[in-house]
Structure 1
Amino acid sequence: MGTWFPKIYDAAMKPLEASQFKKIRRDLVEKAEGRVLEIGSGTGINFPYYKNALQVDAIEPNPSMSKRSDERLRCAQVPIQIHESGAESLPFADDTFDTVVATLVFCTIPEPLKALAEIQRVSKPGARLLFFEHVRMEPILLSKTQDFLNPLWEKICDGCQLNRDTLDLIKKSGIEVAKIESYYAKLFLYIEGINGMTEREKYDE
């Protein structure tokens, strides 16, 4: 990830954040309880909304991004620690987290299925997994348009995959999908998942 993109990220997102995104983020992040893992914390835009977490471990592979989160980190209402790490190899023990938060990040993760497997590994059985992501759209004309635009979009938006079917990836990973809400003609989805592997299943393995 480049060093120029973090400088424009908040400004580029401001129109969406000022409309519906702020409420979506707030509602999602307020559901995060116990020890929380945030995937790809970026400029810390979610940090002000944590109220019910005991502790947040936020991973962000780009130091230029996390550096821009300093002010939000200082103003956070709960303890937050940022780790410079990618999602495909999380520096945490098995069964560590009660909740995982990922917002607008899976479009940029190089190996999303590996990241989803890691999320399940470090989450407790029954942990709540909260996603807000843009996805591949259902109407064939719109999805083909996403395919057409993706090469240019990837270059402009620092690796973002406009046409990634993140919901399908979540389902394929074995995460139990409990709730889906759609926004902007189903371009954006709120997905509430559960780490479905029980203690008994882990013991039986």
Structure 2
Amino acid sequence: MGNTFPKYYDFFMGPLEKGKFQSIRKELLQKANGVVLEVGSGTGINFPYYESVIKVTAIEPNQHMIKRSSKRREMSVVPIEVIEESAERLPFADNTFDTVVATLVLCTIPNPELAVQEMKRVCKYKGKILLFEHVRMKNLFLATLQDWLTPLWKKVCDGCCLNRNTVQMIQANGLEILNKRTFYNGLFIELELKK
């Protein structure tokens, strides 16, 4: 994992983050409670939105992203620990976290199904999993365009796959969808899940 993508991530995502994404993140993370695990914390874009939680443990496999998240971590009103780790092998015991959060990250994880299984494993029985992701669209033309663009997009955007069927993968792994919202004609989804 190089430094180029982390260096420009906030710049290119800025227009979306200052618009609709900011309100989506705020609203989603207000549902977080207790001890939180954030999977793929990137540049720490979610850190300012954690308010009524005990603490956040964030994992991120890219050391450059971790460095870029340090200012946001220091400004957070709750304790945040960032660990350089992979989502497919979470170093935590079963049923550790009250809330597990993943935002715009399942697209880049090499084995997202294994990551979902790990998120489910470390989430407490009555806990929740909160996701905000981009997904394969239902419109056949747009989905085909996503398929066509994905090989190049993966190279430019640090492994990001435009065409993952995240909802189907989640349901196949035994997670129940409590709430679902879609944005931008189904390109982005917000999910509240339970075991």
| Aligned residue runs from structure 1 range 103-142, under 5 A | 103-142=103-142
The aligned counterpart of 2:89 is: 89
Number of positions where the alignment pairs a residue of Structure 1 with one of Structure 2? 195
Q: Shift in Å at residue 120 of structure 1?
A: 1.1
Inter-partner Cα distance in structure 2 for 1:161 and 1:77: 33
1:201 alignment partner in structure 2: none
Aligned position for 2:41: 41
Structure 1 unpaired stretches of 5+: 196-205
Question: What residue number does 1:185 align with?
Answer: 185
Structure 2 letter corresponding to 1:186? G
CA distance in 1, matches of 2:39, 2:83: 10
Asked if 1:149 is matched to 2:149, the reply is yes
Scaled by the length of structure 1, the TM-score of the pair is 0.94
Q: Is the 8 A contact 1:94 1:122 kept in 2?
A: yes
Task: Tell me the distance in 2 between the aligned counterparts of 1:161 and 1:129.
Answer: 21
Task: Write the deviation string for residues 130-153 of structure 1: whole angstroms up to 9, x where unpaired.
Answer: 000000000111111100111111
RMSD: 0.7
Q: Which of these two proteins has the greater Rg computed from alpha carbons?
A: 1
Within 2, Cα distance between the matches of 1:174 and 1:20?
A: 30
* 1:94 CA displacement: 0.8
Q: Secondary structure at the match of 1:2?
A: coil
Question: Which secondary structure does the structure 2 equivalent of 1:193 belong to?
Answer: strand
User: Counterpart amino acid of 2:97?
Assistant: F
User: Is this contact kept in 2: 1:31–1:52, CA < 8 A?
Assistant: no
Contact 1:51 1:77 in 2 (8 A): yes
SS at match of 1:110: coil
Cα deviations by residue, 1:144-181 (Å, 9 ceiling, x for unpaired):
11001111111111110011111111111111111110
1:71 maps to a residue whose letter is K
Moved >4 Å (runs of 4+)? none
SS at match of 2:54: strand
CA distance in 2, matches of 1:56, 1:86: 16
User: Could you tell me how far 1:126 is from its partner in structure 2?
Assistant: 2.0
